[in-house]
Amino acid sequence: MGYPPLRSSVHALHAPLLTDLPALGMDAASIASDFRHHFAHNLGCDRHCTAVRYYYDSLVLTLRDRIMERWKNTQYTYEEADSRSVYYLSMEFLMGRTLGNAVLNLGLVDEVERAMTSLGLIMEEIAESEHDAGLGNGGLGRLAACFLDSCATLQLPVVGYGIRYVYGMFRQRIENGRQLEEPDHWMRHGNPWELKRAEFTQRIRFGGRSEVSRDSSGRLQAHWVDTQDVLAIPYDIPIPGYRNGTVNTLRLWSAAATDEFDLSEFNAGSYTESVREKNVAEHITMVLYPNDASENGKELRLRQQYFLASASLQDVLRQWVHWHGRDFSEFSAKNCFQLNDTHPSCAIPELMRLLMDEYDVGWEEAWAITSRSMAYTNHTLLPEALERWPVRMFRQLLPRLLDIIFEINARFLTEVAQRWPGDIERQRRMSLIEETPVPMVRMAYLAIVGSFSVNGVAELHSRLLACGLLRDFHDLWPLKFNNKTNGVTQRRWLAGCNPPLAQLITNAIGEGWVSDLDRLSMLAPLAENADFRARWRAVRRIGKTRLAHLIQTECRVSFDTSALFDVQVKRIHEYKRQLLNCLHIIHLYDRIKRGDTSDWTPRCVLLGGKAAPGYRIAKRIIKLVNNIAKVVNGDPDVGGLLRVAFLPDYRVSAMEVICPGTDLSEQISTAGKEASGTGNMKFMMNGALTIGTLDGANIEIRAAVGAENFFLFGLTAEEVEEQRHAYHPDAIIAADEDLFRVIKLLESGHFSQFEPGIFQEIIDSLRSPHDPWMTIADFRAFVNAQRQVATAYRDQDAWIRMSIYNTAASGRFSTDRTIAEYNREIWRLTPIPAQGSNTL
Ligand code: CJW
């Protein structure tokens, strides 16, 4: 394992001298002193170095030293406890910025602030210079990041395994109202948080053939031969818990060529040819696929998935063999892999392969170990997001894995046949291989068959999985299925991003809520206290001022903080129905133009989000929002009654400014389509009210805060499915005067005067009886609910009361609760408090 040891015995004798160092000071003076050391000695900065990057790097190194002590202690503690561990396998970890969160979790907010001030620096400016680590698309990736924070805070031995993409989620620029994608070279100036662990490099195989031979004892032995290999190099990122001395690990894999490059080419003078292999290998971890909720079947994506699964499993097995030898009898009692959607589900056949081919374990035992170690989380009901890989591609890229998948399938279908004799149709439905003209591997079915637990991410979603999409599997194994409603970490999404509100809450109920969010319920009685409401309102005004400033800078649109701030930020997708929001904005505009403005509530509407680069309609929706904004904001008749802005490059750090400044959170997906949503929780926690359908976690949010503090509208998931067959949008349009006028305005080219016809496809999709998202069906209910919102907002006292109730009821939506449930019902880990010095 790792690098060769020192040959002399000196090391063993003096090891404590090297490792048991005196604890570093956690006070402002020590921090300032170490900062100066890193600035001058480590980074080699001099009086000409005034770039904020130098200050940022110096501060990170100063903090990293302090984290390092706790990181080692945590790992020693886990080792000594010989504890069961969980590995969270995810293609995405949408971490955002790290500095502010590290300072908060280390309990150093005041000391670092003082240290920076003493050096003439402004902490906020340094923190804001950090580039987001955008290693994810949206909710699924951000959930993984929130989970890591909660696992460390709950002191659970959980390791995150992911990919170190050189380019993260693309940067979005808006030009003439259209999305342009630019590469996000987020590590251009290095990443001081990561620690390269070259000694734990793994070898990953691709291509070649699978062969079978008999070994000396006559047993069949499979060989994967003639492979093209790639190295996986791990980089570790520390994940500090909240003021508890625990530091967990996020291990990200980077691809590199094996060093056996083609010498003959090199000697023949073809230098470029000789390094081609290196380039091809490094492509694997070059760029994050920017698709959210739709698979696109590219071979490189399957390469990435297998690369993650194989590197992570080999890493875990390496450690297992180091501590336990080749006895795997306790492996599934000590190790659990949580698969973040099907993206890492190659882990199932890969663990089988490693156990059988590398460690001589027989099929039955290998299967028992694998299927007791794996747990699968499903994040979507959308059929287009369910991953399927062509069998042919699998055979070319991962021939040995395909053998294993076929064998898993054969044994599984035997089980189905025993349970339902003669039910051929059911076997066809449940097969891991879809027997279409181009046969496909169904990754979700592979994940279910190979796991001991299958969970959805909100109550409705889990129910719809069990009685809809995955019904056959639920019939077979009802006990495998469970729900784990998502959450968000209050460290980032309240304490970190909204210091004025956090301070007000702490002054009122103490600081316990930062690690026990249910305590926010103590705020509820204060909603009846006029003085507290006044303070709440003042704090909300600070958040709105900050958001208005962002919108002024980024969009050149002025938002008046006395207006209602109405916000929808999330990936652009038809099912999320940004179009319904557009129809409402056009309706408000039409009312203003008609002079129907008595009792008007001034409103500022913000939209933001990225469209997958290949998703044509989503990109056209962005153009529509921008064109509407241009017309509305430029019309003198509108005055201050309505403002519309599209914020470019929506990302984690933008949401940290957006959610504290939002009055109204738009959660308006077609019921039954949004698995959970997590933006909805961030808004609620910060005191926004929700306008929403009965979809995903909205249902649980409404139940928690009470129907009277939530603006509900629209068809239920059941109604959507019932009415789909008799859906006639044209008839609805004809019968609704307001809607008729909105569609007419759209069709008249009012929002596309310089490019006639560009919104025709959008209009056609809305008017189609086959529109899967049934936008027109919910228009009237949405407009009516928005009227109630406008009326409610005019009574500021009542609104603020509802705002307080929302925050007070958001305790359930902490990932601390989510992770506690994963742990109680799936992982069964014992919390392990960090031992040794420096535990805080
Ligand atoms: O997961 C969140 C939910 C949210 C759901 C999102 C999700 O839409 O409602 O709150 C956390 O549970 N993301 C994906 N599915 N569901 C997702 C993300 C990236 C993907 C993908 C699906 C990338 C690909 C394919 C499907 C790809 O091939 O690149």
Model confidence pLDDT, tens digit, residues 728-748: 999 999 999 999 999 999 999
Which residue's alpha carbon is at the smallest distance from atom 14 of ligand 1? 293
Q: Which residues pair with 483 in a beta bridge?
A: 456
Report whether pLDDT(259) > 90: no
pLDDT of residue 297: 77
The pLDDT tens digits for 578-587 are 999 999 999 9
pLDDT of residue 15: 72
Q: Is 4 or 713 the better-scoring residue by pLDDT?
A: 713
678 is catalytic: yes
- Share of residues in the chain with pLDDT > 70 (%): 97
Q: Which residues pair with 343 in a beta bridge?
A: none
**217 confidence band (pLDDT: 50, 70, 90):** confident
619 is catalytic: no
Q: Which residues pair with 221 in a beta bridge?
A: 213
Report whether pLDDT(492) > 80: yes
Ligand 1 centroid – CA 674 distance (Å): 10
**Exposed e or buried b per residue across 118-137, where buried means at least 16 C-beta atoms within 10 angstroms of its C-beta:** ebebebeebbeebbbbbbbb
Ligand 1 pocket, mutate which of 92, 140, 169 (most atoms under 8 A from CB): 140
Mean pLDDT confidence for 703-715: 98
Report whether pLDDT(308) > 80: yes
Ligand 1 centroid – CA 729 distance (Å): 29
CA distances from 771 to 79, 761, 774 (A): 55, 12, 5
630 is catalytic: no
Which residue's alpha carbon is at the smallest distance from atom 27 of ligand 1? 295
**Are 711 and 690 in contact, with CB atoms under 8 Å apart?**
yes
pLDDT of residue 296: 76
Which residue's alpha carbon is at the smallest distance from atom 17 of ligand 1? 293
Ligand 1 centroid – CA 698 distance (Å): 17
Ligand 1 centroid – CA 656 distance (Å): 21
Report whether pLDDT(19) > 80: no
The closest-lying atom of ligand 1 relative to the alpha carbon of residue 297 is 28
Amino acid at 412: F
Q: Which of 9-23, 119-133, 758-772 has the lowest mean pLDDT?
A: 9-23
pLDDT of residue 293: 77
576 is catalytic: yes
484 vs 482: CA distance, rounded Å: 7
CA distances from 784 to 404, 604, 707 (A): 56, 18, 16
**16 confidence band (pLDDT: 50, 70, 90):** confident
Which residue's alpha carbon is at the smallest distance from atom 22 of ligand 1? 293
**6 confidence band (pLDDT: 50, 70, 90):** confident
Ligand 1 centroid – CA 325 distance (Å): 38
The pLDDT tens digits for 658-689 are 999 999 999 999 999 999 999 999 999 999 99
Mean pLDDT confidence for 109-132: 98
Ligand 1 pocket, mutate which of 379, 576, 813 (most atoms under 8 A from CB): 379
User: Mutual orientation of helices 578-594 and 779-794 as an angle, nearest 10°?
Assistant: 60
CA dihedral 373, 379, 382, 385 (to 10 degrees): -70
- Among residues 343, 570, 584, 623, the one annotated as catalytic is 570
Mean pLDDT confidence for 182-206: 98
552 vs 256: CA distance, rounded Å: 44
CA dihedral 447, 449, 450, 452 (to 10 degrees): 100
- Among residues 74, 249, 380, 678, the one annotated as catalytic is 678
pLDDT of residue 635: 98
570 is catalytic: yes
Average pLDDT, the chain: 96
**Are 626 and 645 in contact, with CB atoms under 8 Å apart?**
no
Ligand 1 residue neighbourhood (C-beta within 6 Å):
137, 139-140, 143, 289, 291-293, 295-296, 301, 341, 379-380, 385, 457, 486, 674-678, 696
Ligand 1 centroid – CA 88 distance (Å): 16
The number of CA neighbours under 13 Å toward the Cβ of 709 is 26
pLDDT of residue 263: 59
193 vs 65: CA distance, rounded Å: 11
Report whether pLDDT(144) > 90: yes
The closest-lying atom of ligand 1 relative to the alpha carbon of residue 289 is 29
Which residue's alpha carbon is at the smallest distance from atom 25 of ligand 1? 295
Alpha helices of 390-510 — where are they, by DSSP H?
391-397, 399-419, 424-430, 443-449, 459-464, 471-476, 490, 499-509
Alpha helices of 666-824 — where are they, by DSSP H?
679-685, 698-705, 717-723, 729-735, 737-747, 760-767, 779-794, 796-808, 815-822
Closest CA to 504 of 516, 492, 495: 495
Ligand 1 centroid – CA 293 distance (Å): 5
Ligand 1 centroid – CA 626 distance (Å): 26
pLDDT of residue 13: 59
- Among residues 97, 251, 571, 610, the one annotated as catalytic is 571
pLDDT of residue 627: 98
Report whether pLDDT(125) > 90: yes
Q: What share of the chain is helix, strand, coil (3-state, %, to 5)?
A: 55, 15, 30
The closest-lying atom of ligand 1 relative to the alpha carbon of residue 457 is 12
593 is catalytic: no
pLDDT of residue 265: 62
pLDDT of residue 142: 98
Q: Which residue has the tokens 């504290």?
A: 660
Closest CA to 289 of 277, 305, 313, 306: 305
DSSP of 598-621, one letter per residue? TT---EEEEEE-PPPTT-HHHHHH
**21 confidence band (pLDDT: 50, 70, 90):** confident
The pLDDT tens digits for 498-546 are 999 999 999 999 999 999 999 999 999 999 999 999 999 999 999 999 9
- Share of residues in the chain with pLDDT > 90 (%): 92
The closest-lying atom of ligand 1 relative to the alpha carbon of residue 678 is 10
Ligand 1 centroid – CA 386 distance (Å): 10
The pLDDT tens digits for 225-248 are 999 999 999 999 999 999 999 999
558 vs 544: CA distance, rounded Å: 12
The closest-lying atom of ligand 1 relative to the alpha carbon of residue 674 is 9
Report whether pLDDT(110) > 60: yes
Which residue's alpha carbon is at the smallest distance from atom 11 of ligand 1? 140
pLDDT of residue 262: 57
214 vs 366: CA distance, rounded Å: 19
625 vs 645: CA distance, rounded Å: 8
- Among residues 544, 576, 643, 651, the one annotated as catalytic is 576
- Among residues 303, 379, 533, 623, the one annotated as catalytic is 379
- Among residues 682, 702, 812, 817, the one annotated as catalytic is 682
